[in-house]
Amino acid sequence: MSIRPIFVVAGVGNASGTGAAAARLFSKAGYRVALIARDQKSLQTLASKLSEDGGEAHPFAIPSYAPQDVRGAFTAIRKQWPKEQGNDIRVALWNTAAAVWKPFLEITDEEVKEGLEVNVAAAFAFSREVIKEFKSNELNELGKRGTLLFTGATAGIRGNVTTSAFAAGKFGERALSQSLAKEFGKDNIHVAHAIIDGPILTDRQRSRHDTEWQNDQNVRLDPESIAKAYVYLANQDRSAFTWELDLRPAHVKW
């Protein structure tokens, strides 16, 4: 009789990374999946795959991560799965990031702007929609209304020689997540930030490394392994919420 909860993920790329892995695992865990990203074709392919595997997923393509476009995605989700019919958004993942890796003096005004607009302002817009949704939910069996997750990075806690623009954005994302965890904990809303402290095995990283690196689980993170941690966080009950965890492969120096 109960309607399956909805998992919303923003930032799916061409479906080789963390966003897509999380979509697959939450789908397996019984969630319906709302996919938000810019490329309609990749989203449609992933949604079809999840549906073939017994899940229910829908693509919600947006033209950009501008705040109004992010809000538009939530309007579309609500058209697809109306709240009045008992459809609750219970878990959301902000996974999108614009990565600028350049020495400080080479970074343009445009890149600074993009880093802050995508990594901070868009994360605010996404979080606002998610928190409003969660506030309208009843407490679930874990004693919470919802779980909002953020994919962070080493650059979210440490700047480095080519990360001035990127780190400014990722620090901002982390600051947002901590503030939300504090402000909405009293509403039984769980907010968690994951510091991904090492390279993730995405198609982009594959193209930069040899097969030995790709096959060595000691040196890079598997998107599926990160997604497992996200499911674990979503399953935490109100008496023991993690705000922040960090994940790194066994041999990464830290």
Ligand X SMILES: *[C@@H]1O[C@H](CO)[C@@H](O)[C@H](O)[C@H]1NC(C)=O
Ligand Y SMILES: NC(=O)c1ccc[n+]([C@@H]2O[C@H](COP(=O)([O-])OP(=O)(O)OC[C@H]3O[C@@H](n4cnc5c(N)ncnc54)[C@H](OP(=O)(O)O)[C@@H]3O)[C@@H](O)[C@H]2O)c1
- Which residues of the shown chain bind ligand Y in the complex (CB under 6 A)? 11-13, 17-19, 37-39, 65, 95-98, 118, 151, 153, 196, 199-200, 202, 205, 223
- State the residue for tokens 């074709």: 41
| CA dist., res. 203 & res. 14, Å (int) | 9
**Per-residue string for binding with ligand X, 67-96, x by CB under 6 A?**
------------------------------
Counting contacts by CB under 6 A, is residue 46 touching ligand X?
A: no
Q: Which of 106, 109, 186, 207 binds ligand X (CB under 6 A)?
A: 207
Closer to ligand Y by Cβ: residue 30 or 63: 63
Bridge partners of 8, per DSSP, are 34, 92
- Using CB under 6 A, which residues numbered 137 to 166 contact ligand X? 154, 158, 160-161
**With CB cut-offs between 5 and 8 Å by kind, which of ligand Y, ligand X, none does residue 70 bind?**
none
Strand order across the 89-94 sheet = 57-61, 32-37, 6-10, 89-94, 146-151, 189-196, 244-247
DSSP sequence for 143-165: S-SEEEEEE--GGGT---TT-HH
223 makes contact, choosing from ligand X, ligand Y, none, with CB < 5 to 8 Å by partner type, with ligand Y
Q: Which of 114, 24, 9, 2 minimizes the C-alpha distance to 62?
A: 9
User: Looking at 91-99, 127-135, 200-208, 242-250, which segment touches ligand X (CB under 6 A)?
Assistant: 200-208
Contacts of 40 (CB under 8 A, 6+ apart): 59, 61
202 binds, among ligand X, ligand Y, none (CB under 5 to 8 A by kind): ligand Y
CA distances from 104 to 19, 117, 161, 169, 215 (A): 29, 18, 8, 14, 33
Residue (48 or 235) nearer to ligand X, CB: 48
Residues in contact with ligand X by CB under 6 A are 14-16, 154, 158, 160-161, 203-204, 207
